[in-house]
Copies of this chain bind each other. A is one copy, B any other.
Amino acid sequence: MAVLLLLFLSVSLAVPADLPALRGFSNETAASERDWEAKFRAIPDPANLRAYMQHLSARPHHVGSPYDKANAEWLLARFQEWGLDAHIESFDVLFPTPKVRQLELVAPTHFTAKLQEPTVPEDPTSGQHDEQLPTYNAYSTDGDVTAALVYVNYGVPDDYEALERAGVSVKGAIVMARYGGSWRGIKPKVAAEHGAVGCLIFSDPKDDGYNPGEVFPNGPYRPKDGVQRGSVMDMPVYPGDPLTPGVGATKDAKRLPIGQAVTITKIPVMPISYADAEPLLAAMEGPVAPAGWRGGLPITYRLGPGPAKAHLKLQFNWDLKPLYDVIVRIPGSVYPDEWIVRGNHHDGWVNGAEDPLSGTGPELEEARALAALLKQGWKPKRTIIYCVWDGEEPGLLGSTEWAETHADELKEKAAVYLNSDGNGRGYLGMEGSHTLEKFINGVARDIDDPETHLSVWKRLQLHQLAGNSNFGPPPDRTEARNRPDLRIGALGSGSDYTAFLDHLGIASLDIGFGGEDGGGIYHSIYDDFYWYTHFSDTDFVYGRALAQTVGTAVLRLADAELLPFDFDDFTDTIHRYVDEVEKLAKDKREQIVERNRLIEEGAFQAIADPRIKTVPPSKEPEPPFLNFAPLDNGLAALQRTTALYDRALTEAGQNGGSALARAELRDVNQRLTRLERVFLVGDGLPNRPWFEHQIYAPGFYTGYGVKTLPGVREAIEQKEWKLAQEQIERVGKVFENAGEAIQGTAADLTKAVK
């Protein structure tokens, strides 16, 4: 094994002569950069990753727990031991924990829910009940309700439309929603909008229990008593501490009274296991659930309401709890005021091995490796900031409060934010700002896949070509084969990049491996070292690959003569988004016109089965045609100026890019550092001013799922035609401004390399 490892290292360290040019580097500096990068990639060690995870997951480490603080201090000690400049930055945030949790079926029979995940004998940390957070949803309001049950599938707006067609109302009811189909916080929000008085969210065995595979401890999937904890705050309005929107939750921050914190749910909500859900669902009557709503329990899923009736009582301790962000700074030697920020969180819901420690460990190894390079004489041009966040789980607390506290400086100096979170075996996942698409594709070409020893880029490309059905829709092979770069996804929410990208307009990337292993221990007591080392990246080679990928990206960004942003792929993607929203408006219009026609034709009356209650839809006003010219003109401006920047870059790259080495690039780099800020609009998206980015946002009704061109897209989805037209004009203007910024950057670059 040792011999093989050495062989592998020697291959990694060698730099072939015929490598392609490194974007942002002259030939003079590219070779030395490749050398440093190869040295860097040889350092991360799976044995360390294993040890880190074992240590950090040894006890529950949620916000406010003793081990959460201990972990932060341990991390700080490591950074300092390696010679890095590190400190802990602390905040005080609202973090409710359960005082009373009761759920019982009170009719037609009686059943008391267990609400408890049992110890699994072979899993040593599963029995730490004294320190485990009980199963609950954080930021549920207090409540004590008794009401009929209604099954609402995933509980997204479309599901309520289907319920309405079936004549089933949730007014005054407790809804039962299954996990999946949206971020969990959407479920109580939409339920409350429809008049429900309580919400139970259950894990269905079809989704992550015995249907996809054997359950823990025989397999990786959710056992019958396993529960998914999780935050239900209304994060699409604003993440972070509910009491301090827009500002850091420092000791002396001005705080809202709890009653004014709009991100706390309107109705009580609690997660339950499928063992607790089954008797409740089985006791329901009413229409049989549509085929797509039926889960994996051996019962007939019915909609209700009733006769099953439940009593749900919840009370919480509404306390402020401390957060411990660990912050490391490696100062830049040439551009100290251009920052490359890297983050992953350290807090978990319980022992949190997969989520987040499988990503925290690699981040730690990156820092150790960078410290080693510094000792060997490496000098990054830009300042590198490593952050290990606390309080991600309850609502991106640690990253949001830090970003809000340092907003002005970050807006001035941060060029890129690089994020990771849980990590597993399989394929590289890359999501983020499309101005970084070309850059991260370049990094991915230089990373070895541990299983195939292809580059992780090549493996991902072949995966897209071969079209694994477990991994998204059928591939467009022509594009995957012929486009120089693989398309990266856009960022919604669900991890710590949110404040950086959506609130501060810092170009961001989220990186992780996965897709080969499934599981059902998410946010349960079974997400621990035992589970991870039996069912996931058991030898931590994908943990190493993550450290190699993100670390290479950090090095390359920090060392580049010219920040390697690209506007070509970006504009290509914007073109797609514009096409999408135009098609959405067209489809939505045709849909309404067509449905009105079907109503006139009497089609819905004709297909009504007299034995089944149905409510035919009503006619809607015919939508207007929208004027998309502002978007189209803005896009044209982007296309024009992107071409200018490309030309400037080609000129800069001539003669082996040595023009770059000679040039004074401070102004151009400054412009590039701040370019993404042009996508912000100060008063944000409609009804959620915290979200300022006009290209990317988490969906108001999806939660994690991204909405691109969110102002326009969501207005169309919500059929707010007047708002849609205003947003089109606003975003068109943003495109024009971006075009000007790119043009100015191109001009500066041309001047610099002349």
**Whole-angstrom distance from the CB of A150 to the nearest CB of chain B?**
18
Q: Can you show 18 pairs from A to B with CB atoms below 8 A apart?
A: A205-B298, A211-B294, A212-B288, A212-B300, A214-B300, A215-B300, A219-B300, A296-B298, A297-B298, A451-B610, A452-B606, A454-B606, A458-B606, A459-B607, A462-B603, A463-B606, A466-B603, A516-B611
Query: Which one, A61-69, A594-602, A653-661, A697-705, is touching chain B?
Result: A594-602
Report Cα–Cα, A607/B468, bound state, in Å.
8
**A157 part of interface (Cβ distance < 8 Å):** no
Most-contacted residue by chain B among A426, A454, A462, A607 (CB, 10 A)? A607
Report Cα–Cα, A417/B215, bound state, in Å.
56
Report Cα–Cα, A477/B598, bound state, in Å.
10
Binding site for B on A (CB under 8 A): 205, 210-215, 219, 221, 288, 290-291, 294, 296-300, 425-426, 451-452, 454, 458-459, 462-463, 465-466, 468-470, 477, 516, 594, 598, 601-607, 609-611
Report Cα–Cα, A213/B452, bound state, in Å.
47
Q: A212-B288, A454-B606, A463-B603 are in contact. List 4 more A-B contacts (CB 8 A).
A: A452-B605, A465-B603, A466-B598, A466-B607
Q: Do the beta carbons of A465 and B601 come within 8 Å of each other?
A: yes
Question: Please, which residues of chain B bring their CB within 8 A of the CB of A219?
Answer: 300
Contact partner, A298, options B298, B426, B611, Cβ 8 Å:
B298
Q: Do the beta carbons of A466 and B296 come within 8 Å of each other?
A: no
Decide if the interface of chain A is mainly helix, strand, loop or mixed: loop
Q: Do the beta carbons of B606 and A300 come within 8 Å of each other?
A: no
Report Cα–Cα, A462/B462, bound state, in Å.
46
Give the nearest-CB partner of A285 in chain B: B214
Question: Please, which residues of chain B bring their CB within 8 A of the CB of A288?
Answer: 212-214
Contact partner, A607, options B297, B462, B606, B607, Cβ 8 Å:
B462
**Whole-angstrom distance from the CB of A532 to the nearest CB of chain B?**
15
Report Cα–Cα, A288/B519, bound state, in Å.
13
Report Cα–Cα, A452/B610, bound state, in Å.
9
Contact partner, A594, options B477, B516, B603, Cβ 8 Å:
B477
Report Cα–Cα, A601/B467, bound state, in Å.
14
Give the nearest-CB partner of A302 in chain B: B214
Most-contacted residue by chain B among A451, A468, A603 (CB, 10 A)? A603
Question: Please, which residues of chain B bring their CB within 8 A of the CB of A215?
Answer: 300
Contact partner, A462, options B212, B299, B516, B601, Cβ 8 Å:
B601
Q: Do the beta carbons of A298 and B607 come within 8 Å of each other?
A: no
Question: Please, which residues of chain B bring their CB within 8 A of the CB of A454?
Answer: 606
Report Cα–Cα, A19/B211, bound state, in Å.
58
Q: Do the beta carbons of A213 and B462 come within 8 Å of each other?
A: no
Q: Do the beta carbons of A462 and B606 come within 8 Å of each other?
A: yes
Give the nearest-CB partner of A611 in chain B: B516
Report Cα–Cα, A465/B602, bound state, in Å.
10
**Whole-angstrom distance from the CB of A390 to the nearest CB of chain B?**
34
Question: Please, which residues of chain B bring their CB within 8 A of the CB of A214?
Answer: 288, 300
Give the nearest-CB partner of A299 in chain B: B210
**Whole-angstrom distance from the CB of A443 to the nearest CB of chain B?**
19
Q: Do the beta carbons of A465 and B598 come within 8 Å of each other?
A: yes
**Known contacts A458-B606, A516-B611, A606-B458; is-contact A300 B211 (Cβ 8 Å):** yes
Give the nearest-CB partner of A610 in chain B: B451
**Whole-angstrom distance from the CB of A209 to the nearest CB of chain B?**
9
Q: Do the beta carbons of B210 and A300 come within 8 Å of each other?
A: yes
Contact partner, A609, options B296, B458, B516, B602, Cβ 8 Å:
B516
Question: Please, which residues of chain B bring their CB within 8 A of the CB of A470?
Answer: 291
Question: Please, which residues of chain B bring their CB within 8 A of the CB of A609?
Answer: 425-426, 451, 516
Pairs A-B, 3 closest by C-beta atoms: A462-B606, A466-B603, A462-B603
**Whole-angstrom distance from the CB of A615 to the nearest CB of chain B?**
14
**Whole-angstrom distance from the CB of A122 to the nearest CB of chain B?**
19
**Whole-angstrom distance from the CB of A577 to the nearest CB of chain B?**
26
Q: Do the beta carbons of B212 and A291 come within 8 Å of each other?
A: yes
Report Cα–Cα, A480/B684, bound state, in Å.
46
Question: Please, which residues of chain B bring their CB within 8 A of the CB of A426?
Answer: 609
**Whole-angstrom distance from the CB of A362 to the nearest CB of chain B?**
21
Question: Please, which residues of chain B bring their CB within 8 A of the CB of A465?
Answer: 598, 601, 603
Question: Please, which residues of chain B bring their CB within 8 A of the CB of A452?
Answer: 605-606
Report Cα–Cα, A610/B610, bound state, in Å.
55
Question: Please, which residues of chain B bring their CB within 8 A of the CB of A212?
Answer: 288, 291, 300
Give the nearest-CB partner of A450 in chain B: B610
Most-contacted residue by chain B among A215, A425, A466, A598 (CB, 10 A)? A466
Report Cα–Cα, A234/B300, bound state, in Å.
35
Report Cα–Cα, A601/B210, bound state, in Å.
36
Report Cα–Cα, A594/B465, bound state, in Å.
10
**Whole-angstrom distance from the CB of A88 to the nearest CB of chain B?**
39
Give the nearest-CB partner of A211 in chain B: B294
**Known contacts A465-B598, A465-B601, A466-B598; is-contact A300 B607 (Cβ 8 Å):** no
Most-contacted residue by chain B among A426, A452, A463 (CB, 10 A)? A452
**Whole-angstrom distance from the CB of A183 to the nearest CB of chain B?**
22
